[in-house]
Amino acid sequence: MSNSTNIQIGNEGESRASTHMESLGFKIRERNWRHGHDEIDIIAENETFIVFTEVKTRQSNAFGEPEAFVTRKKQSFMIRAANTYITRHNIEKEARFDIIAITLNQADGLVHIPDAFYPIV
């Protein structure tokens, strides 16, 4: 699969994930927010939470469920980026880390995992 195909798949997944978050009453603050080499796919908020979301999109689950590919290393990068974002934007809401896994070849191929992981203190 070419890199441009992977980018298209990722963009499709992030669009579906953003629509899903909005349907739950969240406002999308950022998409693909970067700090150095760290990236957060979606930053959304409601009255209570600021939610940092990793979106994993796959054509199929032939190699496993998409959410299984959010490694500890990726989590630590997200936590580091989220800390920077919270500091820069004076965020006082409770932070949450979600995973949205999308499998494009399934009609009900969206799995949202709120509080998927927690920062290790």
CA gyration radius, the chain: 14
3-state DSSP assignment of residue 23: helix
pLDDT value for 84: 96
pLDDT, one tens digit for every residue, the chain (121 residues) = 566 687 788 888 899 999 999 999 999 999 999 999 999 999 999 999 999 999 998 877 766 677 777 888 999 999 999 999 999 999 999 999 999 999 888 777 899 999 999 887 5
pLDDT value for 108: 76
pLDDT value for 121: 57
Q: E strands within 1-121?
A: 27-35, 38-45, 49-58, 94-103, 110-113
What's the CA gap between 106 and 17, in Å, rounded?
15
pLDDT value for 51: 98
Report the CATH number of the 3-113 domain: 3.40.1350.10
What's the CA gap between 14 and 1, in Å, rounded?
19
First to last CA, the chain: 39
User: Residue 43 in contact with residue 53, Cβ under 8 Å?
Assistant: yes
pLDDT in tens, 84-110: 999 999 999 999 999 999 988 877 789
pLDDT value for 10: 83
How far lies 33's CA from each of 2, 20, 44, 99, 107, in Å? 24, 18, 11, 16, 29
